[in-house]
Chain A
Amino acid sequence: MASHTANSTESDTRTVVFRIWRGDVNGGQFVVYPVEVTQGMVVLDCVHKIQAEQAQDLACRWNCKAGKCGSCSAEINGKPSLMCMTRMDMMPVGEEIMVEPMQAFPIIRDLVTDVSWNFEVKKKIKPFKPRKPDNADGSWTVYQADVERAQEFRKCIECFLCQDVCHVLRDHHKHDEFIGPRSMVFTAALEMNPLDTEDRLADLKNRDGIGYCNITKCCTKVCPEHIAITDNAIIPLKERVVDEFYDPITRLFRMFRPKS
Chain B
Amino acid sequence: MSALDKYIVTEHDVLIIGAGGAGLRAAVESSAHGVRTAVICKSLLGKAHTVMAEGGMAAAMGNVDDRDSWEVHFADTMRGGGYLNNPVMAEHHAREAPSRVRELESWGAVFDRTKDGKILQRNFGGHRYPRLAHVGDRTGLEMLRTLQDHGIHQGLDIYMEMTVAALLTSGGRVVGAYGYDRERGRMRVWRAGAVVLATGGIGKAFRITSNSWEYTGDGQALAYEVGAELQDMEFVQFHPTGMVWPPSVRGILVTEGVRGEGGVLRNSEGRRFMFDDIPELYRNQVAKDEDEGWRYVTGDKHAQRPPELLTRDHIARCINREIKAGRGSPHGGVFLDIGWIKERMPNASEHIKKKLPSMYHQFKELAGVDITAEAMEVGPTTHYVMGGIRVDGNTQMCNIPGLFAAGEVAAGLHGSNRLGGNSLSDLLVFGQRAGEHAAKFAKSNPAADVDVAQLERETARALEPFDRPNGENPYSIQHDLQNVMQDLVGIVRTQSEMEQALDRIGGLNARSEKTGVVGHREFNPGWHTAIDLRNLLTVAEAVTRAALDRKESRGAQFRDDFPTKSDECSTFNTVISKGGDGAMKLERRPISKMRPELTAIIEKNK
Give residues in A with beta carbon < 8 Å to B. 1-7, 9, 24, 38-42, 45, 51-52, 56-71, 85, 87, 108-110, 112, 115-116, 119, 122-123, 127-128, 130, 133, 137-144, 146-147, 150-151, 154-155, 157-158, 189-190, 193, 196
Q: Which residues of chain B are within 8 angstroms of A133 by Cβ–Cβ distance?
A: 106
Q: Which residues of chain A are within 8 angstroms of B246 by Cβ–Cβ distance?
A: 5, 39-41
Cα A219 to Cα B546 in complex, Å, equals 51
| Residue-wise interface mask of B (123-162) relative to A, using a CB-CB cutoff of 8 A (1 in contact, 0 not) | 0000000000001101001100100011011000000100
A39-B247, A154-B141 provided; 16 other pairs, C-beta below 8 A? A2-B364, A2-B367, A6-B377, A38-B248, A51-B475, A57-B517, A64-B212, A66-B249, A67-B362, A109-B523, A116-B160, A138-B106, A143-B117, A147-B112, A147-B113, A155-B138
For chain B, give the interface size range. Answer: 35 or more
Given A2-B365, A5-B367, do A108 and B119 touch, yes or no (CB 8 Å)?
Answer: no
Q: Which residues of chain A are within 8 angstroms of B102 by Cβ–Cβ distance?
A: 137-139
Would you give 8 A-B contacts (Cβ < 8 Å), ordered by A? A1-B365, A6-B369, A59-B522, A66-B253, A112-B523, A144-B115, A151-B135, A158-B46
B365–A108 touching, CB < 8 Å: no
A128 to chain B, nearest CB (A): 4
A122 to chain B, nearest CB (A): 7
Q: Which residues of chain A are within 8 angstroms of B369 by Cβ–Cβ distance?
A: 6
Give the interface segment out of B292-300, B337-345, B383-391, B524-532.
B524-532
Give the secondary structure class of B's interface.
loop
- Top 9 closest pairs, chain A to chain B, by CB: A40-B246, A56-B526, A57-B519, A128-B108, A2-B368, A141-B117, A59-B523, A52-B475, A63-B212
Q: Does B107 contact A (CB under 8 A)?
A: yes
A224 to chain B, nearest CB (A): 9
Cα A122 to Cα B44 in complex, Å, equals 14
B249–A70 touching, CB < 8 Å: no
A146 to chain B, nearest CB (A): 8
The closest CB in chain B to the CB of A4 belongs to: B368
Q: Does B51 contact A (CB under 8 A)?
A: yes
Q: Which of B150, B212, B523 contacts A110 (CB 8 A)?
A: B523
Cα A155 to Cα B141 in complex, Å, equals 8
B367–A57 touching, CB < 8 Å: no
A56–B525 touching, CB < 8 Å: yes
Q: Which residues of chain B are within 8 angstroms of A5 by Cβ–Cβ distance?
A: 245-246, 367-368
Given A3-B368, A119-B45, do A127 and B149 touch, yes or no (CB 8 Å)?
Answer: yes
Cα A115 to Cα B45 in complex, Å, equals 11
Q: Which of B249, B377, B522 contacts A109 (CB 8 A)?
A: B522
Q: Which of B110, B153, B357 contacts A193 (CB 8 A)?
A: B110
Q: Which of B99, B248, B475, B522 contacts A42 (CB 8 A)?
A: B248
Cα A133 to Cα B117 in complex, Å, equals 13
B525–A58 touching, CB < 8 Å: yes
The closest CB in chain A to the CB of B530 belongs to: A56
Given A64-B212, A154-B110, do A6 and B525 touch, yes or no (CB 8 Å)?
Answer: no
A196 to chain B, nearest CB (A): 8
A6–B524 touching, CB < 8 Å: no
Q: Does B587 contact A (CB under 8 A)?
A: no
A144–B47 touching, CB < 8 Å: no
Cα A38 to Cα B141 in complex, Å, equals 31
Q: Which residues of chain A are within 8 angstroms of B65 by Cβ–Cβ distance?
A: none
A191 to chain B, nearest CB (A): 12
Q: Which of A123, A151, A189 contacts B153 (CB 8 A)?
A: A123
Q: Which residues of chain B are within 8 angstroms of A154 by Cβ–Cβ distance?
A: 110, 135, 141-142, 145
Cα A237 to Cα B571 in complex, Å, equals 61
B261 to chain A, nearest CB (A): 16
A141–B118 touching, CB < 8 Å: yes
Q: Which residues of chain B are within 8 angstroms of A87 by Cβ–Cβ distance?
A: 365-366
Q: Which of B43, B112, B368 contacts A144 (CB 8 A)?
A: B112
Q: Which residues of chain B are within 8 angstroms of A1 by Cβ–Cβ distance?
A: 364-365
The closest CB in chain A to the CB of B215 belongs to: A63
Cα A86 to Cα B301 in complex, Å, equals 44
| Residue-wise interface mask of B (252-273) relative to A, using a CB-CB cutoff of 8 A (1 in contact, 0 not) | 1100000000000000000000
Give residues in B with beta carbon < 8 Å to A. 43-49, 51-52, 99, 102-103, 105-108, 110-113, 115-120, 135-136, 138, 141-142, 145, 149-150, 152-153, 160, 183, 212-214, 245-249, 252-253, 330-331, 357-358, 361-362, 364-369, 374, 377, 473-476, 479, 517-520, 522-527
B51–A69 touching, CB < 8 Å: yes
Q: Which residues of chain B are within 8 angstroms of A42 by Cβ–Cβ distance?
A: 248, 366
Q: Which of A9, A58, A64, A139 contacts B330 (CB 8 A)?
A: A9
Q: Which residues of chain A are within 8 angstroms of B249 by Cβ–Cβ distance?
A: 40, 65-66
B524–A61 touching, CB < 8 Å: no
Q: Which residues of chain B are within 8 angstroms of A24 by Cβ–Cβ distance?
A: 522
B247–A40 touching, CB < 8 Å: yes
B47–A6 touching, CB < 8 Å: no
Q: Which of B43, B152, B517, B519 contacts A71 (CB 8 A)?
A: B43
Given A68-B51, A119-B45, do A142 and B117 touch, yes or no (CB 8 Å)?
Answer: yes
A139 to chain B, nearest CB (A): 6
B51–A64 touching, CB < 8 Å: yes
Cα A119 to Cα B212 in complex, Å, equals 23
The closest CB in chain B to the CB of A3 belongs to: B368
B152–A123 touching, CB < 8 Å: yes
B499 to chain A, nearest CB (A): 29
Q: Which residues of chain A are within 8 angstroms of B527 by Cβ–Cβ distance?
A: 57
A160 to chain B, nearest CB (A): 10
Given A6-B245, A143-B117, do A67 and B153 touch, yes or no (CB 8 Å)?
Answer: no
A69–B110 touching, CB < 8 Å: no
Cα A130 to Cα B116 in complex, Å, equals 20
Considering residues B44, B103, B145, B213, which has the most beta carbons from chain A within 10 angstroms of its beta carbon? B44
A61–B43 touching, CB < 8 Å: yes
A182 to chain B, nearest CB (A): 12
B113–A41 touching, CB < 8 Å: no
A219 to chain B, nearest CB (A): 19
A143–B365 touching, CB < 8 Å: no
B113–A143 touching, CB < 8 Å: yes
Q: Which of B106, B118, B368 contacts A6 (CB 8 A)?
A: B368
Q: Which residues of chain A are within 8 angstroms of B525 by Cβ–Cβ distance?
A: 51, 56-60
Q: Which residues of chain B are within 8 angstroms of A115 by Cβ–Cβ distance?
A: 44
The closest CB in chain B to the CB of A57 belongs to: B519
Q: Which residues of chain A are within 8 angstroms of B247 by Cβ–Cβ distance?
A: 38-41
Given A41-B246, A63-B213, A138-B102, do A108 and B475 touch, yes or no (CB 8 Å)?
Answer: no
Q: Which residues of chain B are within 8 angstroms of A56 by Cβ–Cβ distance?
A: 473-475, 517-519, 524-526
Cα A87 to Cα B374 in complex, Å, equals 21
Given A9-B331, A66-B366, A115-B44, do A140 and B522 touch, yes or no (CB 8 Å)?
Answer: no
B183–A108 touching, CB < 8 Å: yes
A87 to chain B, nearest CB (A): 7
Cα A57 to Cα B212 in complex, Å, equals 19
Q: Which residues of chain B are within 8 angstroms of A138 by Cβ–Cβ distance?
A: 99, 102-103, 106
B302 to chain A, nearest CB (A): 26
A22 to chain B, nearest CB (A): 10
The closest CB in chain B to the CB of A66 belongs to: B252
Cα A138 to Cα B527 in complex, Å, equals 49
Cα A185 to Cα B110 in complex, Å, equals 15
Cα A28 to Cα B578 in complex, Å, equals 47
Q: Which residues of chain B are within 8 angstroms of A62 by Cβ–Cβ distance?
A: 212-213
Cα A189 to Cα B110 in complex, Å, equals 10
Cα A146 to Cα B358 in complex, Å, equals 21
Q: Which residues of chain B are within 8 angstroms of A157 by Cβ–Cβ distance?
A: 51, 141
